[in-house]
Structures are given as structure tokens and as C-alpha cells.
Amino acid sequence: MELLVSETKLVSGSRWLLCHAVAVFAFLYLPIAVLILYSFNGEGVGGFPPHHLTLDWYRTLFADGPIWDSVLNSLQVALAAMVIALTFGVPAALALERAQFPGKALFRRLVLLPLILPGIITGLSLLMLFNVMGTKLSLMTIVLGHGTALISVATTEVFAGLQKLDRAQEEASLDLGANYWQTFWRITVPNLKLPIIGAALLIFTLSMDEIAVSFFLIGRDNTLPLEIWGRLRRGITPEINAVSTIIFVFSLVAIVFWYRLRMRGESAAEGETR
Amino acid sequence: MFSRAYKAAVTLPPLLWVTVFLLLPYLLMFCYSFWSVSESQTIVHSWNFSNYAQLLRVDVYWQTLLRSMSIAARVTIFSLVLGYPLAYFLSFYAGRKKDLLYQLVIIPLWVSYLVRAYAWKTILGSEGVLNTLLQYVHLTKHPLEFLLYSPFAVVLTLTHIYTPFAFLPIYAALEHIPRNLVEASHDLGATPGQTFWKVIFPLSIPGVVAGATFAFVLSLGDFLAPLLLGGPSGIMISNIVVSLFGAAYNWPLGAAISFCMLLLVVSLLFFSERLEKKWSFS
Amino acid sequence: MTSTAAAAGRAPLLRIQNVAKSFGKNVVLRDISLDVAEGEFLTILGESGSGKTTLLRIIAGFETASAGEIWMGEERLDRQPPYRRRVNTVFQHYALFPHLTVEQNVAYGLRVAKRPEAEIASRVAEALEKVKMSAHAKSKPSKISGGQQQRIALARALVNRPRLLLLDEPLSALDANLRRQMQVELKSLQREVGISFIFVTHDQEEAMVMSDRIALLRSGELEQVATPRETYGRPATAYAAQFIGHTNLLKGEVRAGAVRCGLLTWPADLPDGPALFSLRPENIHLMAASAAKSGSVRARGKVRHQAFHGATELIRVECGDGMVLVVRTPGSSGMLDEVELEFSPADAVLVRESPERI
């Protein structure tokens, strides 16, 4: 029986906390707000206040061929990276959560390292690998780079999901006559559905935005972030505001969806234990 | 409980992949750092320490590394100052709005880094939003130059990017604190302020260490923000590495610097892990 | 139902007046009035959901009442934040600070009050001595057992010399034997220290063993407030009779000074109408052939079930007309079939109905 939560009275100190929180949120969303605002600005970037509002930049954007090519490239890369990351990340999570083996600690650190290591190091080291192997740089190399770096994301999400799993279910399955493989596919994997979908969503979004690793592994074809990057080097074009706004909207939808999925997973687990 | 076959099937594929695509490249990078580049722009496999010697001798590398660490340190401090009270507010005062506010904090995290860095460029430029706004309300007569193409711009942008990174582990640690400890502290006569310093903060230290580590390590290795907003005075160590792999064609030297960064990051992680363990009480 | 400090000569330490509490639409406490005397061991007894923990938290200061007042001496207690009240709590799951040693945990309240170090050291040592935990002073909470943690939680609260100690089901996490041992220790500790204890539990046996008075709470209202003997021997309502110990509830009709209940009848000086009686199993006796006492009510029945409880035995007897009586006999009676029962009319206590509460 949950004890009823006590109410915390608002003390004067907490008014400062509230102001601080509002200020931080403003700071976090300010650039995004500016971006969205100026994507509709007739005079393009700069100047305040924004003058006549227009959809011109969006129109230019839609007519821009190379951008859409790069979007297609990014989508392909993201999907492929997702497959790789999940294929190796899910078993890695299982290995870390379930099995004991020599070198487990090293394995864990290695798998999770790309999460915190600056992308440049991962990208560079892979570049050197491909150089030595004589592989030409292309979308494929980017796929390998993203996939490798994002295994850590898959592992983390699935690991968290595994910890919430009730072992008794799998034991019951074995007790009733199913062997390890059957139990895995009939019990374990269905229970991991939500974390896996969540991880997939996250990996996809991160891959679409990835620059550091892609920077070094790029061949002839650009991904979307690198295409934008190239344009930025040459000078600011207001189209970029438009494409950024669109990217923002998509990311927003993706992340809110991911969060809802995760919450659904947590409340489902709670419901079962009652 | 699990059969050998199951364990093998689950451990070997990721192990192999990670060995080929993570461990091996790092080792390669290590090897590269001992080679050098010849006059004709080819890589010569002569093993020596000349690259490392160069790093120690030539000023620009040291200075840039120190500047990078100074920038990273500032970003870390600002991220913690912004992130901790926010996490505390969400965890202890937000009540039913907690979930919604949490989502609001993590959304910027996943919105394209490039987009956000670019947005700051728009805001900080001499023709940018901030300057024209200041002139519009007559606070300044001329555009403020230091806003863009300076270490200030880099610190500002990186703080913006990494504050949510610092926030996440702090929030997780605060959420983990059983609320009856707070009640017990009040019951024993401590005011909310005393309760914070004596009970809540000590128990949240592992989260603070994790958040600080994230912010520091990721800012240290950042190369986009300095490239977009740093100008000549805001160059960081990663920019040097990038140019060594690009126009300044010297892969071995670049590999040497990279490898040093790798060592630095790994040791930082090691220390922060030890620190977290020391301060965790569950 | 109101109650003032019944015990002679004791001034009330705490006066709870018409306290009510709702969480949104959920009414948890309705119109609670209760006095707690100085040096009294009062137990608030109730099932889960009865509101007993909420009442305790209101006294401690972690919840505010929706209505009513609480007075301690001459001061309004409910107007003060928890850290200013001279009330301390022993929490259900102890709430020991994991990052502080046992000693530091116990010293916490004194440190916060900025007492001099020498005083803190001696008072902490004394408190640890009292709960027999001096040897563990430098340990961390995670390294000691549940029973030991519970003693530390007690010491931490008592060291501050509060005027009132609140205990929120502190023994519920302990196993049966340890629990019995702690009941005795807590009671003697309270006698020794001399301050008022308000003890919350759902275990009626615990309540009877430890309390000076029991306040029985049901669905947010006080059912009865009386000493354990009174509550057991003269329950006010059917619920009270059934909640504490076993009982037989007999529905009867009073007519012209006599009760008729199924096949049984006995004289009762009560107004005409329906009446409900509580009859404790130990007050019904198996009648030996010649041991018929005058004035006792007799019944005959068939034994349906016998349950051996060590020192006593509970026997279910079906006595015609659908009535089932539960009888408690000392020791073991062997296998029984047809029995004759008797009880004294004085042992049939009149109780009120307990209506269903929403």
C-alpha cells in the first residue's frame, strides 16, 4: 500500500528555484525559438525585429535537390545503423545482465565507451582502420561508424528494460517445459519489445543528427547534417533556418513518442507487480 | 541458469564486432602515433616517439590543450550551476508536472546539435538578433564584437548543449533519494535548507560527479562549436586534430594527439567512477 | 465519538479536536477528537486504509488536516512546521540516513539544534546504551540488521527528549519472535523514559499487550477509545468485538425483559427491540454432566470443527436453528461429537451495530 505523498509547502527558497527553472528553460529553448521565428522572416537572418513573414524559405528548401538527396542518404544510413546497433546491442545487454564471463568488466567499458567518448576519436580511429584495410569511404563506412557508436545506446536501453523484467516468468517457462531458446523467443523478447522500440527510435534520431563520426568517414555522398555543414561553411543561408525547423519538429515528435513508450513500459511493469 | 550455448550466442557476436570496430581501431591509432609522414605526403612506418616529442616541445599544442581544458571546465561549472537547481526543483517541487517538465528538458538534447550551434551563431553575430535587439532598445550603440568568434561564444554554446547532459544523472540521483529521509530530517528539527545540505546534497553527489564528467569530457572533445563560433581565439584541441587529418595532412601527429585525448578521457572516467563509488551509500 | 483523558489525575498532553482529512474527493479522516495524556502509551489500532497512518502524519506535521485543531499544552501544534514541533517519529521503514554512521544518525537532531559537542557525545552514548546498540556506534546503517536498525531509529528519536513520540508500525518488518521481544522492550522503555507514546499498528494483539489505552479507528472514524481490558471485555460495537480477539455475535430480540436468540433465551434489563450481543468463546463452557450452574444459559449442539492452538482449543459447534457458536477450551478436549454448552448471561455484552462506511 503506497503511503500518501506528503505535500511540500512552498517556502520562500522555492520561489527562487522556480525563477531559476524558468530561466534555464528559456535559455534552453531560446535558440530554437529564434530559429523557428527567423525561418519565416522575409529578410533572412539577422536584424531585429523580424519583418514581413513569409514561407519563401520553405519553398526554396523544397526545390533544393542536394538537400533531399542527403536526406535520403541519411535515412538509409539511419535504418542500417539501427539494424546493426540492435543486432549487437541487444545480445550485449543480455550478456551483461545475465552471464558471467572473464573480461566482463572490460567488455562493459568497451561497449559503453562511445557514449561518452568524443565522437571525433571514434571517427578517427575507424578512419585509420578503413585506411589500413584499403576500404574506400562511402555511405557504407558511415553506416559502420554509426552502428558501432550507437551499440552503446541500444545496450543501455535494453539493459534497463531487462532489469525490470521478472525472472520468475522465465523460470516458470522453463518449469513448464520450454528450453532456453524457446523461453528467449516466447517470454524474454516480447517483454523487451518496448525497450527495443524505444532504443530503435533513439538510435534512428541520433544517427540522423550525427556529425562527429560521419565527418571523417564520408565519401562522395553527404548525409543531411554534413550537407548543412557544408553550406554553413560557405555562409549563412536562411533556408538553413527552414530545414532546421523541420528537423526540430521531427525530433520533437520522435522523442516525445519515445518517452511515452518508456512510460508505458514502466507503468505496465508496475501494474504486474501489484 | 543459462546454458553454455546461450551464453556463447549472446556474448560472442557483440564481442567480436566491438573488438574489430572499436578495440582494433584504437590500437591502430596507437600504432599510427608512432609513425610519421614523409615529404611526399605518404605515411612512413618508422617507429619513433617524434610525434609525442613534438607535442611536448611545440607550444601551440600545449596552449590549445590548456585552453580546451579551461573552456571545458567553465562549461562544466556553468552546466552544474544551471542543471542542479533545475533537477532539484523538478524532483522535489514539481509535483504532478514533473514528467512534463522532464520531457521539456530532454527534448533539446535530441534536437540537432548543428541546428542549435547554428542558432547561437544567428543570435550572437554582429548583425545578429542579440546585437540588433540591444541597439534597437538603445542599450548599445555598436555591435558587441566579443559575442561571436570568441571563447565566450564557445563556452555559451557548449553550456547550452551540455546542461541537459549534466541534468540527467543529477535528476536520477535525486529521484533515488527516499522521501522518508527528508521527512525524518524535518522530524528531527532540520529546516528545509539544513535538510538539503545535510541529507539531500550528500546523497546526490554520485549524480553530480557523473554529470560533471559528461559535461567536461564531451566539451573537451568538441570540434563543431569552436569551428562555427570560436574564431581564431577559440580553437580547441579537436580542431587541431581535424586539420591534421585534413589540410595539414599529418595523420600520425593527429593520431598521437587523439590517443592522448583517449588516455585523458579514460583516466577521467576511471577517477570519476572511483569518486562515485566512494559517495554512494546504497 | 469523543474521548477525553480518562485516566485520573493525568493532564492531557495532546488534544486532537475535530480533525478531518481528505485527499481530493477521498475522505480519509472524519471528525477525530482524541486526547493523549502525559506519560501514556496510546495505540491507534486499525486496518489498512483506516486512516491511522494519516492521523499520525498529521500529528508529526507531514500532512495538514483539512479541518480541526491540534493542541499541545497551550500551543496550536498544527500551525507549526514539523521541524519546530517537540514531536519525534519512528518511521515504518526506519528512514536511517545511509551516508551517516549509527552515531551520526542518532546525533542528527542534536547537531541541527547546535547543542555543544560534549553534550551531544554524552547524550548519544546514553541513548545507544538504552537501546543496547553501543557496540555498533561507528557502523553504517546498511551493515546492521533490521531489528538493530529499528533500535537506532528509536534512539535517534528519543535522544531529542521530545514531549511525544510517534511510532508508525515500527515492528511490522520484524519476524514474530523478535517482534514479541521488542514489544516488551518498547513498553518498558516507555515506562522508563516516561514520555507519551502514540503507537500505530494493525495488530490487535500487539495493541493489547502494549497499550494503556487503545483508539480503534475504522474508515476514518474512532470506533472506541478505552483500555485494553475494557475494549476486550466491553466492546462498544460489533466491529470492535470482532476486530479484537474472537467473538460470537448473537442477534436477538428483546421482549418483556428477556432476550430471545434462536433457541436460547436469557433475562436482560433492556428496552424492547432487536439487540446484538458479543459473547467471547472463552466464556462458553463445555458442560460436564452434573456441573449445571444456576442461571446459566444452556445449549446443545454438534461439533463441526476443532482447532488446536497450543494452550487452548477452538471448537465450532452447530446448535440447531443455524446458529454456530465458537467455544474456547483450555488444553485439548479429545475428539468430541455431541456437546452441551453453557454460558452466563452477564458475559453476553450488548454492542452497537457497525454500519457499512463508505
Distance from CA of B126 to the nearest CA of A (A): 9
CA C190 to chain CA mean position, Å: 16
B278 shares contact with chain C (CB less than 8 Å): no
User: Smallest CA–CA separation between B120 and chain A, in Å?
Assistant: 6
Instruction: State yes or no: pLDDT of B120 exceeds 80.
Output: yes
CA B64 to chain A, closest CA, distance in angstroms equals 17
Counting every residue written for chain C, the total comes to 358
> What is the arithmetic mean of pLDDT over A226-240?
78
Distance from CA of A5 to the nearest CA of C (A): 9
Q: How confident is the model at residue B39 (pLDDT cuts 50, 70, 90)?
A: low
Between CA A154 and CA A148 the distance in angstroms is 10
Say if the Cβ atoms of A1 and C64 lie within 8 Å.
no
Contact of C249 with C278, CB cutoff 8 Å: yes
Nearest to A1 by CA among C168, C205, C156, C241: C168
With 50 as the cut, is the pLDDT of residue A9 above it?
A: no
Check CB contact under 8 Å for C62 and B186: yes
Whether the CB of B270 is below 8 Å from some CB of chain A: the reply is no
B6 three-state secondary structure:
helix
Tell me the pLDDT of chain C (358 aa) as tens digits: 334 444 445 679 999 999 999 998 899 999 999 999 999 999 999 998 899 999 999 999 888 999 999 999 888 998 888 888 889 999 888 888 988 899 999 999 898 888 999 999 999 999 999 999 999 999 999 899 988 999 999 999 999 999 999 999 999 888 889 899 999 999 999 999 999 999 999 999 999 999 999 999 999 999 999 999 999 999 999 999 999 988 999 998 999 888 988 888 898 888 889 999 999 999 998 886 556 677 788 888 889 999 998 899 999 998 877 888 999 988 877 888 888 888 888 899 999 887 776 5
Whether residues B25 and A129 touch (CB distance < 8 A) is answered with yes
Burial level of C176, CB count in 10 A (0-12/13-18/19+)?
A: exposed
* Cα gap C79→C85, rounded to integer Å: 10
pLDDT at residue number A7: 42
pLDDT of residue C286: 86
> Chain A: residue nearest C54 by CA?
A4
* Section B96-114 average pLDDT: 84
Q: What is the pLDDT of residues A157-202, one digit of tens each?
A: 899 888 877 777 777 877 777 777 777 788 788 888 888 988 898 8
Q: Would you state the pLDDT for residue C358?
A: 54
The residues with which C316 forms a beta bridge, in sequence order, are C305, C326
Which stretches of chain C sit within 8 Å of chain A by CB?
23, 28, 48-49, 53-54, 57, 62-64, 81
Q: What value of ipTM does the predicted structure carry? A: 0.86
Residues B80 and B59: their CA atoms lie apart, in Å, by 31
Q: If you count them, how many residues does chain A have?
A: 274
Distances (CA, A) of B55 to A147, B229, B240, B246: 33, 26, 12, 18
How would DSSP label each residue in C186-239? Answer: HHHHHHHH--EEEEEES-HHHHHHH-SEEEEEETTEEEEEE-HHHHHHS-SBHH
- The Cα–Cα gap between B151 and B146 comes to 9
Give pLDDT, residue C24: 86
What pLDDT is recorded for position C84? 85
- pLDDT (mean) for B157-175: 93
Give pLDDT, residue A5.
Answer: 31
Looking at the predicted structure, is the pLDDT value of residue A4 above 60? Answer: no
Q: Is B140 on the interface with A (CB under 8 A)?
A: no
**Cβ distance B219 to B71 under 8 Å?**
yes
Per-residue pLDDT, A20: 93
pLDDT, tens digit (0-9, with 9 covering 90-100), for B219-248 = 999 988 998 888 888 889 999 998 888 887
**Residue in A81, A96, A115, A116 with CA at minimum distance from that of residue A201:** A81
SS3 C166: strand
CA distance C257 to C239: 26
3-state secondary structure of B40: coil
Beta partners for C251?
C276
Chain A residues in contact with B220 by the CB 8 A cut-off are 118
**Is the distance from CB of B29 to CB of A124 less than 8 angstroms?**
yes
Pairwise CA distance, residues C168 & C183, whole Å:
14
Note whether C108 contacts B191, CB cutoff 8 Å.
no
Count of B–C CB contacts within 8 Å? Answer: 66
Interface contact flag, A6 C63, Cβ < 8 Å: yes
Query: Averaged over A222-247, what is the pLDDT?
Result: 80
- B120 has a chain A CB within 8 A of its CB: yes
Query: Under an 8 A CB cutoff, do A151 and B93 touch?
Result: no
Q: Which residue of B has its CA nearest to C162?
A: B188
- Are the C-beta atoms of C65 and C58 separated by less than 8 Å? yes
Do C57 and A6 count as a contact with CB atoms less than 8 A apart? yes
Chain C interface, best mutation among A4, A9, A10, by max C CB count within 10 A? A4
Chain centroid, CA A152 distance in Å: 11
Q: What does the mean pLDDT of chain B come to?
A: 87
Distance in angstroms between the alpha carbons of the first and the last residue of chain C: 18
**Strands C67-72 and C12-23, bridge-based pairing:** antiparallel
Q: Using CA atoms, how far apart are residues A173 and A223, in angstroms rounded to an integer?
A: 46
Write down which chains contact chain C via at least 3 CB pairs under 8 A: A, B
Q: Note whether B119 contacts A180, CB cutoff 8 Å.
A: no
- Confidence category of residue A249, pLDDT binned at 50, 70, 90: confident
Residue type, A53: L
Q: Residue A92 pLDDT > 60, yes or no?
A: yes
For the cut 70, the answer to whether the pLDDT of residue B1 exceeds it is no
